[in-house]
Amino acid sequence: MPLVRVLPVLQPLLLAFAAVFSKPQQRHFDNYIQGLIVQDHRRTLTRMSRQVVEGPDASSWDRFVTTSPWELPALSTRWHQLLRVELRRLKPQGVRIAGKQTDFLIFDDTRHPRTGQGLEGAGYHWDPVQQRACWSHSLVLGVYRTGDYSFGYSCDAYVRKKELEPLNAARERENLLREPQARRPVWEFHSKSDLVAARLRAFRPLREGRQAFALFDSWYFNETVVQAAQEANLDWCSTLRQNRNLTLLDLAPETGEVRQEWKVTVGELLQALLPGTLLPEGLPFAAAALTPRWEAFQVQGRTYRAVAYRARISGIGVVQVVVAQEQCGSGAWSPYVPLVTNRVDLTCEEVVRVHQERWAVEVLIRDGKQNLGLTDCQIERLEGTVRHWVLSLLSQGMLTLLRLRADAGEVRTASGREVRSVGRTLGEVREFVKQCALVELIRWTCEQGKQGKTAEEIALCLGLPA
C-alpha cells in the first residue's frame, strides 16, 4: 500500500510525539509507524521505505532506527504521558474486583527467531515448543490493560552474559578509534527478573482511584519481582511451580496466632487434593483452607471449581493459594492450576478472574508478530532492534487508542463523517486504517491528475510498471 501523506486519522496521535523528535526525525517517525500498520508484506526497512511515495531510501530509515540522536526513554515517557491523559479523559470501564475498578500491569517474555549470526544481542534461548535452544533475540514485554483495552507499556532486550561480554568487548575496542561523541555505550547485564522489577518500581498509576494488579507467570514469581510490586503499591497474582515450598497456616481469627502449620510442596498439595475431590472426608489440611469445600463458579462464560488455602512462602510472606480447575466441553476437568496472590481477602472466583487477564499479553504478542512486524526486521545493531520493537509496540498502542476514541465517538474520516466503530480486534482496527490509506491514495491520484500528470507518470511515482 503506497503511502502518500500522513493519514488524518493517525495525525493527532503522531503529533503528540513532536517534542521527542526533530522535524526530519518526525517525518521518519510518521512513515515508520504508518508503514508498520498499513503494509501487508514483511516489514523490513527496505520494503517499508519503498512504499513511501517520494520518501527517503532504506539507508535513511536505517540511520533513524540505529544512530539518529533520539532517546528511547524520552519516547517511552511521552507515550506514558499520552496514555495517562487519554485514559483519564475517556474513562473506559474496568473489571471490578472486590467491588473496585481494577487495572492490570502484565509481564512476559517472547523469543524472536533470527538467521544472521552477526546480530548484536542474539543468542541461544530456550524454545518451549521445539524443546531446544534456538538462535533468537529475547524481549521482555510489559502490557497495561484497562477494561477491554490492552496497550504495549514497555519492552526491554534480555541479553545473556555469554553474548553480552563479547559485545561489550568489541564496542570498547571500536570506541578507542572513535571521537567521544561517536562512542557506543556498553550494555549492562540484567536478568529478566531485574528488568521486570525495574519497570515495576518506575510504574506510576495511569488512572486515579483504581487498584492495579501486577500479573506474571511462575518464572517471574520470586522475591525480587514481588518486592518491586509492593514498593509500587501494586497487588500481584501469579502461578506456582510444583517444586515451590509452602507452609500452610491455621491462623486464629481473633489474634492471628499460628495454631498449626504444614510444610508441603505445591506438588504434594495437589496430590493430596485428588482424593479430597472424590471422597466425602473433605479437604486435606482443612484447618488451613479458606473455603470449607470446593467452590463452583463461572467466569466469563467458563465453568471452574477451586479451593483456597492460606500459606506462607519464604521471602514472600503470607499469601492465598487457589487451586483451580476448568471444566472442558466434554464435562471432564482440566489439570490443577495453582494460583497465588497477596490478596487473602479475595474469593476464589475473583482470583481466577484476575488471573484470566494475564492472557492479554499473549494476545498482544501474537498481534504484534502477525499484524505489526514485531519480529520482521533484523538489524545488526542492538539499539536498532530495540527501537524497532518499541515502535512496533507503539503502533499497537496507537491503534488501541484509536479504537478507544472511536468507541467514545471522537473519530472522523477526512471528509468529517463520524466513525462509530473501527472494530474490536487489532486486525479490524488495522484494516480500517488501511482503508483510510487507500482513500488518501485515491485523493492524491486525483490531485495529480488535475495537475496534468498522465496515468503513466502517476504510476511511476507509485513505483508501478508503466
Of 188, 128, 119, 118, nearest to 158 (Cα)?
188
Least confident residue range of 26-30, 239-243, 458-462? 458-462
Tell me: the pLDDT tens digits for 292-310?
889 999 999 999 999 999 9
3-state secondary structure of 177: coil
Please state the rounded mean pLDDT for residues 183-202.
Answer: 94
Helix spans in 337-425 (H): 348-356, 359-371, 382-407
pLDDT for 254 beyond 80: no
Q: What is the pLDDT of residue 239?
A: 97
Quick one: pLDDT at residue 226? 97
**pLDDT grade for 280, boundaries at 50, 70 and 90:** low
| Whether pLDDT at 348 is above 80 | yes
Q: How far is CA 409 from the centre of its chain?
A: 26
Does residue 47 register a pLDDT over 90?
no
What percent of the chain clears pLDDT 90, i.e. is strictly above it? Answer: 69
What's the per-residue H, E or C state across 317-331? EEEEEEEEEEECCCC
pLDDT of residue 253 exceeding 80, the answer is no
DSSP letter at 336?
Answer: P
Q: Who contacts 227 (Cβ-Cβ below 8 Å, separation ≥6)? A: 197
**CA R_g for the chain:** 26
263-277 mean pLDDT: 85
Asked whether the predicted pLDDT for residue 256 surpasses 80, the reply is no
- The Cβ-side half-sphere exposure at 195, using a 13 Å CA radius, reads 22
Mean pLDDT over residues 316-335, rounded?
92
pLDDT of 180: 86
- Who's near 94: CB < 8 A, 6+ residues apart? 101, 102, 103, 146, 147, 210
Three cell numbers, residue 114: 533470527
Q: At what angle do helices 192-202 and 223-231 cross, to 10 degrees?
A: 10
* Mean pLDDT on 363-385: 91
Q: What is the pLDDT of residue 283?
A: 86
Round to whole Å and give the CA distance between 330 and 71.
53
| Mean pLDDT score, 275-279 | 54
Closest CA to 273 of 298, 299, 236, 248: 248
φ and ψ of 383, to 5 deg: -60, -40
Contact 32/48 with Cβ under 8 angstroms?
yes
Q: What is the pLDDT of residue 249?
A: 93
Alpha carbon dihedral 6, 395, 1, 54, in 10-degree steps, equals 40
Question: What's the mean pLDDT in 306-335?
Answer: 93
φ/ψ of 238, rounded to 5, equals: -150, -175
Average pLDDT of the chain, as a whole number: 91
Q: Where are the beta strands (DSSP E) in 282-432?
A: 295-299, 302-313, 317-326, 337-341
State the pLDDT confidence band at 311, using cuts at 50, 70 and 90.
very high
- What tens digit of pLDDT does each residue of 73-116 get? 999 999 999 999 999 999 999 899 999 999 999 999 999 888 87
Residues 6+ apart with CB under 8 A from 99: none
Q: pLDDT confidence of 251, banded at 50, 70, 90? A: confident
CB 46 within 8 A of CB 39: no
Q: Which helix (DSSP H) or strand (DSSP E) does residue 144 occupy? A: strand 132-146
Confidence grade of residue 262 (pLDDT, cut at 50, 70, 90): very high
Q: Is the pLDDT of residue 7 over 70?
A: yes
Let me know: does 454 contact 448? Beta carbons within 8 Å: no
Alpha carbon 292 to its chain's center: 38
| DSSP state letters, 63-83 | HHHHTSS--HHHHHHHHHHHH
pLDDT of 132 above 60: yes
- Residue predicted with more confidence, 150 or 57: 150
Amino acid at 42: R
CB 92 within 8 A of CB 147: yes
- Quote the pLDDT of residue 118: 85
Percent of the chain with pLDDT over 70: 98
Q: How confident is the model at residue 58, as a pLDDT?
A: 85
Burial class (CB in 10 A: 0-12, 13-18, 19+), 65: buried
Which residue has 504508518 as its cell numbers? 34
Mean pLDDT of 9-33: 94
Flag whether pLDDT at 358 surpasses 90: yes
What is the pLDDT at residue 167?
92
The residue among 327, 331, 283 whose CA lies nearest residue 307 is: 283
Cell triple for 109: 517474555
Domain boundaries, the chain: 11-216+360-407, 239-346
Listed residue (169, 147, 213, 198) closest to 351, CA to CA: 213
CA atoms of 295 and 422, how far apart (whole Å): 40
